[in-house]
Structure 1
Amino acid sequence: MCIFAKKLCLKTKLVLALYFVSALSIAQTARKYSNEFMNIGVDAAALGMSNAVVSHTNDVTSGYWNPAGLVHLEDNQLALMHSSYFANIANYNFIAYAMPIDDRSAVGISLIRFGVDDILDTTQLIDEQGNINYDRINTFSAADYGVVFSYARKLPLDGLNYGVNAKVIRRIIGDFATSWGFGLDVGIQFETKNNWKFGLMARDITTTFNTWTFNEEKFESISGAIEGQNQELPETTEITIPKLQLGMSKEFIFNYDYSLRAAFDLNVRFAQTNDIVSTDFASINPALGFQFGYTDLVFLRAGLGNFQNELQIDNSTDMTFQPNFGVGFKYKGISIDYAFTDIGDQSAALYSNVFSLKLDFSIFR
């Protein structure tokens, strides 16, 4: 029993060590995937359209997608969203509130949490004398938090709006490590007289900095499980490079009651990735979304995105993509939306169910 427990403890330490080191190794240089939880997306309505919403977003969730869209608010709004990933191991939650200041400006605040809770910490299971005490097993969470403060305003040119985000990032890995980060986003929207809409969202325009602090004693208790290895603490500064999202959309009305919105976005990273268009300077990933509506009451949505050149075993590459589907219902200021989204590509079996709720305070007036 003692030998088995020691092996279990050693294995758990090794898993924790690998998790901890991999989670923090991104702090060493500017990374193309840093703070990726801020890029997952919010609102089942947007996810159902494969996130192709930067040009026409116009509600409380605009604080995330493009703060310029907040100027379209006519009253205060509240949004909630929940989704689970990786067989309910990780939970992703979002809450936002926005309000118009006057007929030309608006403000909002958004909170995002992505975390894995109740992770077993067995690093203290066996004491120095080799005794096992299951009461020494603790649990911890690895969670990322993002708080976004948004401001939007209409410009003198008719149809042109801008918005800015100031965001604070908080990342916590139990008692092992924590970090604080800060960054800025800028968004623009423009609508032509024939109802074509264009949008630009520049994320992390100043590069987002995360500063880490480590519990060296905790770190040593993990890294000591890897015999013959001298694990060093990662660097304390993490830098997130800028990203761009450009989009265009148009809504078509049929027989007064039926509508069709088509949207096309380009997601640009200034790094070489597996995106369908990839160069040393930048990589581009397109997204296409559709929304069919009936009397502004019921909505059906579909989208394609996340086009990747996936490397196969024989060193060939196949193009994969991520399909999304969704439905929505809106009545007297209450919007309930659902999205069925593949978090990877169409060949994977891991699908997520996303639910969101939006409430317009006009129903109380």
Structure 2
Amino acid sequence: MKKILFITIILIGNLIGQTKVGSTAAPFLNVAVGSRAIAMGGAFVATANDVTSLYYNPAGASRMESGGAYFSHSRWFADITYNWAGGVVNLGDMGVVGLSLTYLDYGDLEVTTLNEPEGTGEFFNPYDLCFALSYAYNLTDRFSVGGNVKYVNQKIYNTTASAVAADLGVLFISDIYGLRIGASISNFGTDMKLDGKDIYVQHDINSQIYGNNDQVLAKLNTESYPLPLTFRIGIAMDVVNAEMHRLTVGADALHPNDNAESVNVGAEYCFMNLVSLRGGYKSLFLDNTEEGLTLGFGLQYMFNNGFGFSVDYGYQEFGILDYTQHFSLGIKF
């Protein structure tokens, strides 16, 4: 029962009690990815300089000087896990291509029926899935564009819903102390509607008549819901950029179609390009949210042959839901 409660919370997000709230499908698409970006409060649309830019702002991938791969694992509530993996390849003057996979695993749940409300002994594994192909290109030395085309799927028992969607991002690097301005629109796509054999039921058309066919096959009517369309715009700047020290600050403003507007802020301090400390705050100015303080750190090392790796950790407060932890591993090649 506890796991079912948490799944319900994940599915409906922060819809209850909010203004400007509508119903959307696949709310997992709004769950932040990458321990580094999460630790910076999710204020990453203008920073966007690692593989997780494929999620926050695909235009940022064009600014990566080499290829790379990144895997992120998040431990949520009630044994729910959230995994994201992505990779990019730099094609030089032809731009950057990438792919990513998002997988939200709700764990094993026991089947219950009206006759067996305590469970039948049969288990199923609901999940959410998103697969994306990406491309990014530098139009000039300061302006980049990028986009994703993705397939979205949700499954619970024998019922599924699918959609096709796209993301678009832009990134501008100014000559004013390296100020970066980024913007992206995510999850512009088709509506989702649940379908499958579980929505077929046997129905008695008229229970008052004895002897009629009381097992007429009927299909439950399910509604279509749009994807959680989100517009982000943000700024980032290296307020300190010395040989041994770098301090990056950033802020994002979010305008979703299923919630009120909010602001994310964050910062990253890096020492000798080896150790990073991060902090931020999510969902500023948003009422009735459980999100808040974020913290984290990272270790990275580059070898002389151009190969490198990074290890990141992120912590995010969730109010009455306690907190979530995020672990990531990245490589550069």
Instruction: Name the TM-score class by shorter chain.
Output: 0.7 to 0.9
In the other structure, the counterpart of 2:300 is: 330
In the other structure, the counterpart of 1:172 is: 155
Identify if the C-alpha distance between structure 1 residues 202 and 309 changes in structure 2 by more than 3 Å, giving closer, same or farther.
closer
2:174 counterpart letter in structure 1: T
Identify if the C-alpha distance between structure 1 residues 309 and 66 changes in structure 2 by more than 3 Å, giving closer, same or farther.
closer
In the other structure, the counterpart of 2:323 is: 351
1:152 counterpart letter in structure 2: A
Q: Is the 8 A contact 2:43 2:234 kept in 1?
A: yes
Whole-angstrom distance in 2 between the partners of 1:94 and 1:76: 17
In the other structure, the counterpart of 1:290 is: 267
| 1:213, distance to aligned residue in structure 2 (A) | 1.1
Aligned residues: 301
| Runs of 4 or more consecutive aligned structure 1 residues displaced over 2 Å after TM superposition | 30-34, 73-76, 122-126, 216-221, 231-238, 252-256, 307-311
Which residue of 117, 126, 129 corresponds with 2:107? 117
Q: Is the 8 A contact 1:32 1:269 kept in 2?
A: no
Whole-angstrom distance in 2 between the partners of 1:171 and 1:235: 14
Return the TM-score normalized by structure 1: 0.75
Identify if the C-alpha distance between structure 1 residues 259 and 77 changes in structure 2 by more than 3 Å, giving closer, same or farther.
same
Q: Residue 144 in 1 paired to residue 128 in 2?
A: yes
Q: Between Structure 1 and Structure 2, which shows a larger proportion of helix residues?
A: 1
Which residue of 32, 39, 43 corresponds with 1:48? 39
Deviations 1:10-30 (A, max 9, x none): xx8xx79x96xx88xx9xxx9
Q: How does 1:178-257 map to 2 (within 5 A)?
A: 178-194=160-176, 195-205=178-188, 207-216=189-198, 233-253=220-240, 255-257=242-244
Q: How does 1:64-79 map to 2 (within 5 A)?
A: 64-79=55-70
Whole-angstrom distance in 2 between the partners of 1:167 and 1:181: 8
In the other structure, the counterpart of 2:89 is: 99
| 1:84, distance to aligned residue in structure 2 (A) | 1.4
Q: How does 1:264-283 map to 2 (within 5 A)?
A: 264-271=251-258, 273=259, 283=260
Identify if the C-alpha distance between structure 1 residues 184 and 349 changes in structure 2 by more than 3 Å, giving closer, same or farther.
closer
**RMSD, aligned CA:** 3.0
2:312 counterpart letter in structure 1: D
| 1:309, distance to aligned residue in structure 2 (A) | 5.1
Whole-angstrom distance in 2 between the partners of 1:241 and 1:254: 37
Q: Is the 8 A contact 1:48 1:339 kept in 2?
A: yes
Q: Is the 8 A contact 1:309 1:320 kept in 2?
A: no
SS in 1 for 2:226: strand
| 1:59, distance to aligned residue in structure 2 (A) | 1.9
User: Which sections of structure 2, spanning at least 5 residues, go unmatched?
Assistant: 16-20, 204-217, 303-307
1:146 counterpart letter in structure 2: C
Whole-angstrom distance in 1 between the partners of 2:183 and 2:199: 45
SS in 1 for 2:312: strand
Question: What percent identity do the matched residue pairs reach?
Answer: 24
| 1:322, distance to aligned residue in structure 2 (A) | 0.4
Q: Residue 161 in 1 paired to residue 144 in 2?
A: yes
Deviations 1:216-275 (A, max 9, x none): 467679xxxxxxxxx98342532125310100010033652111101011011235x4xx
Deviations 1:70-114 (A, max 9, x none): 112232211111111114x21101111111122351011100011
In the other structure, the counterpart of 1:260 is: 247
| 1:326, distance to aligned residue in structure 2 (A) | 0.5
Q: Is the 8 A contact 2:193 2:222 kept in 1?
A: no
Which residue of 325, 341, 345 corresponds with 2:316? 341
Whole-angstrom distance in 2 between the partners of 1:92 and 1:354: 9
1:38 counterpart letter in structure 2: L
Whole-angstrom distance in 1 between the partners of 2:102 and 2:284: 25
Q: Is the 8 A contact 1:31 1:240 kept in 2?
A: no
SS in 1 for 2:191: strand
